[in-house]
Amino acid sequence: MDNRAIGVCDSGLGGLTAVKEIMRRFPNESIIYFGDTGRVPYGTRSNETVVKYARQDINFLLSFDIKAVVVACGTASSIALPEIGRGFPVPVVGVVEPGARAAARISKKGRVAVIATPGTIRSGAYERALKAIAPEIEVMSIACPLFVPLVEAGRWRRGDIVIETVAGEYLAPVKEFAPDAVILGCTHYPLLSGVISDVLGPDVTLIDVGAQAAEELLSLITPCGEGSRIINRYFVSDNVYNFTHIADMFLEKHIDGHVEKIDIEAY
Amino acid sequence: MDNRAIGVCDSGLGGLTAVKEIMRRFPNESIIYFGDTGRVPYGTRSNETVVKYARQDINFLLSFDIKAVVVACGTASSIALPEIGRGFPVPVVGVVEPGARAAARISKKGRVAVIATPGTIRSGAYERALKAIAPEIEVMSIACPLFVPLVEAGRWRRGDIVIETVAGEYLAPVKEFAPDAVILGCTHYPLLSGVISDVLGPDVTLIDVGAQAAEELLSLITPCGEGSRIINRYFVSDNVYNFTHIADMFLEKHIDGHVEKIDIEAY
């Protein structure tokens, strides 16, 4: 057994959807979460900036006694990990490879769509990962820049004309492309599953990349001993109030650990 | 005459609406613009962070030979300038005081609404400035967190159901409050004038705070000599492509100067 914690970082709050999936699969593990709320969003920034930020995020998590890092941010996973993902003392898992592997496994028609932030789409990371696994797969990639602000504004529910209109517009070319698997390439997007399914129809499988990353952790880490004490800690780079306020929406429960603000520029 | 340039800073692109107004009033002046696109948005960040960023933005502009600084960012003006606005070697003009003075002058009913980012509203800066000028004025303040991302996604035109729905919801309490002057407390908002007017009706005057700040410059600076060479320079803290791409929308013309990326953390 290995009683060290699992580190999870994200550009902000979305990574908590991955934390939720990790907690579901590993009920005895402690989590150290860092949400870079002072510098969110990553999705619209340059590659250089995203690489710098991701390196600092991982370094911060490594200042704790952890056994693995999950980079739950789609933008950081796709832009930064190919460059900086190796050479750390513990396994570092992004969301791109697990998401791509799941899509290749699930798609029977060999048609996969990727929806994500502009930065992730521009990086072409999911497309490259899919082609590396199964070169015959046809891939369509669509950037959805308004999904993150709309989710953070609480506008992710069925029946909201704003998110439904925006989703309808973004997803019209996806519907036409007719994939049977769609990678939700940003950890905010699982909240939009209902709205997205309404547009794309019930035959399209939506892939939660945070859940897939959690799944891959199963083979990479030695779990904590049963009955070991769970201590979850949450860190942010901007004010704590904004975080706790929205965190429950992503975790689907009350946040269960201390939340603290840190200076990420120091890492 | 004073041939030094005018410095303008903003958290991102919105400040270009103020640049447009300055250019209209001062056709012979050179502008040095800094848009903090690598750390935008300020409106959702903590006061501490906004103060730090604003100080760096002004320091960067002061590394040039300028005769005044316009802080075109509503959030930086309202949160940071009360703390750091004095003691610079050139006049530093925010958008809060000029906006508040215009509202107090224009409102006949003594009822003024302020719409802005969450950070600006939380600061209470417009409210304080209005009360200092005219204590009897009744003020309502409403945060509109989705206006900036929607404008940046190009969704600011009349007839777009998304912006019209969001504006309708945000402005419903304003309509009920029935002001005759509304301060557009964020430099992105002038693009939404049409949509906002449709909700509030033609009897409500919308106050463009960037234009008011430009107006106040008239009394603070000695203009360039006529026929002096105009050299506009634009600096950003993230990639240049994203900037030039959207800048024209705010300037209402093609960007007319060199655009360069800088490391704002070094200031």
ipTM of the complex: 0.84
Catalytic (active site) residue A186: yes
Task: Please say if the pLDDT value at position B86 is more than 90.
Answer: no
Q: Does B231 touch chain A (CB under 8 A)?
A: no
Same domain, A111 and A157: yes
Same domain, B100 and B204: yes
What strand order describes the sheet that includes B138-143? B138-143, B111-116, B181-184, B205-208
DSSP structure string for B112-127 = EEEEE-HHHHHHTHHH
Same domain, B222 and B187: no
**Residues A45, B153: C-beta atoms closer than 8 Å:** no
Same domain, B219 and B248: yes
C-alpha distance from A12 to closest chain B C-alpha (Å)? 12
Same domain, A218 and A185: no
Catalytic (active site) residue B73: yes
Q: Does A61 touch chain B (CB under 8 A)?
A: no
**Residue A129 belongs to what H/E stretch?**
helix A125-133
The model's pLDDT over B178-218, given as tens digits with 9 standing for 90+, comes to: 999 999 999 899 999 999 999 999 999 999 999 999 999 98
**Residues A46, B146: C-beta atoms closer than 8 Å:** no
Can you tell me whether residue A125 is helix, strand or coil? helix
Same domain, B140 and B14: no
Same domain, B189 and B257: no
Task: Please say if the pLDDT value at position A227 is more than 90.
Answer: no
- φ/ψ (deg, to 5) at A32: -110, 115
C-alpha distance from B147 to closest chain A C-alpha (Å)? 10
Same domain, A145 and A223: no
What strand order describes the sheet that includes B233-236? B92-93, B66-71, B5-10, B31-35, B233-236, B258-261
Which residues of chain B make contact with A49, given a CB cutoff of 8 A?
38, 238-239
The model's pLDDT over A152-165, given as tens digits with 9 standing for 90+, comes to: 899 999 999 999 99
Tokens at residue A166, please?
């925006």
For residue B145, give every residue at least 6 positions away whose Cβ sits within 8 Å of its Cβ, in sequence order, or none. A149, A152, A153, B43, B44, B117, B118
Token pair 């069925």 is found at A158
Interface test with A, best of B36, B162, B265 (most A CBs within 10 A): B162
Same domain, A137 and A121: yes
Mark which of A209, A227, A248 sits at the end of a domain. Answer: A209
What strand order describes the sheet that includes A205-208? A138-143, A111-116, A181-184, A205-208
Mark which of B187, B209, B231 sits at the end of a domain. Answer: B209
Q: Does B144 touch chain A (CB under 8 A)?
A: no
Q: What is the mean pLDDT of residues A82-100?
A: 93
Mark which of B181, B209, B237 sits at the end of a domain. Answer: B209
The overall average pLDDT reported for chain A is 93
Which residues of chain A make contact with B143, given a CB cutoff of 8 A?
none
Other Cβ atoms closer than 10 A to A180? 17
Tokens at residue A143, please?
């950037």
Which residues of chain B make contact with A45, given a CB cutoff of 8 A?
38, 238-239
User: For B238, which of A38, A45, A146 is closest by C-beta distance?
Assistant: A45
Instruction: Provide the β-strand partners of residue A184.
Output: A115, A208
| Gap between the Cα atoms of B46 and B58, Å rounded | 19
The nearest alpha carbon in chain B to A265 belongs to B265
Token pair 């302020």 is found at B114
The model's pLDDT over B40-61, given as tens digits with 9 standing for 90+, comes to: 888 778 888 899 999 999 999 9
Residue-range definition of the domain harbouring residue A156: 96-209
Task: Please say if the pLDDT value at position B122 is more than 90.
Answer: no
Same domain, A190 and A104: yes
Instruction: Give the CATH number for residue A116.
Output: 3.40.50.1860
Same domain, A21 and A63: yes
Same domain, B138 and B216: no
Domain count, chain A: 2
Q: Does B44 touch chain A (CB under 8 A)?
A: yes
Nearest alpha-carbon partner for B11 in B136, B119, B122, B129: B119
Amino acid found at A57: D
Tokens at residue B44, please?
């959702």
DSSP structure string for B30-51 = -EEEEE-TTT---TTS-HHHHH
| Gap between the Cα atoms of B195 and B3, Å rounded | 39
Nearest alpha-carbon partner for A99 in A221, A205, A183: A183
**pTM for the model:** 0.88
**Residues A161, B166: C-beta atoms closer than 8 Å:** no
Q: What is the mean pLDDT of residues B66-90?
A: 92
Task: Please say if the pLDDT value at position A247 is more than 80.
Answer: yes
The model's pLDDT over A43-69, given as tens digits with 9 standing for 90+, comes to: 778 888 899 999 999 999 999 999 999
* pLDDT range class, residue B229, cuts 50, 70, 90: confident
Interface test with B, best of A142, A146, A246 (most B CBs within 10 A): A146
* pLDDT range class, residue B253, cuts 50, 70, 90: confident
